[in-house]
Amino acid sequence: MSADYFLDNADYTLRWPPEVFAKEVRLLVRRGSLFGIDGDWEEEVDLLLRQAFVSSVPAEDFGRVPHYRYEPSTSDDEPF
């Protein structure tokens, strides 16, 4: 998908302030890098997307992407 898909798609309109959404995403990414990605993490991402956007399309798109499980990082580096 090109960036235009997201920029020009009304389904990708945030209902939350962008700063709040970005903060929540950073927390989830950090948690995933510290504790690994599992089904619970994927459910939290799905819930975040369903709450933060005006439609369920972002969560549905996320659900269609292959997800890879991984173990926690042993690095002290920040994910961003």
Domain boundaries, position 41: 35-66
Asked whether residue 76 is domain-assigned, the answer is: no
Cα distance between residue 57 and residue 63, in whole Å = 10
Q: What is the pLDDT of residue 74?
A: 60
Asked whether residue 47 is domain-assigned, the answer is: yes
The encoded tokens of residue 54 equal 């005006």
15 and 57 in contact (C-beta within 8 Å)? no
Q: What is the pLDDT of residue 33?
A: 80
Asked whether residue 1 is domain-assigned, the answer is: no
Asked whether residue 73 is domain-assigned, the answer is: no
Asked whether residue 59 is domain-assigned, the answer is: yes
The dihedral formed by the CA atoms of 24, 29, 55 and 20, expressed in degrees to the nearest 10: 20
Asked whether residue 48 is domain-assigned, the answer is: yes
Asked whether residue 50 is domain-assigned, the answer is: yes
Asked whether residue 72 is domain-assigned, the answer is: no
pTM of the prediction?
Answer: 0.76
Confidence class of residue 76 from pLDDT cuts 50, 70 and 90?
A: low
Q: What is the pLDDT of residue 79?
A: 53
Total domains, the chain: 1
What average pLDDT does the segment 16-35 reach?
91
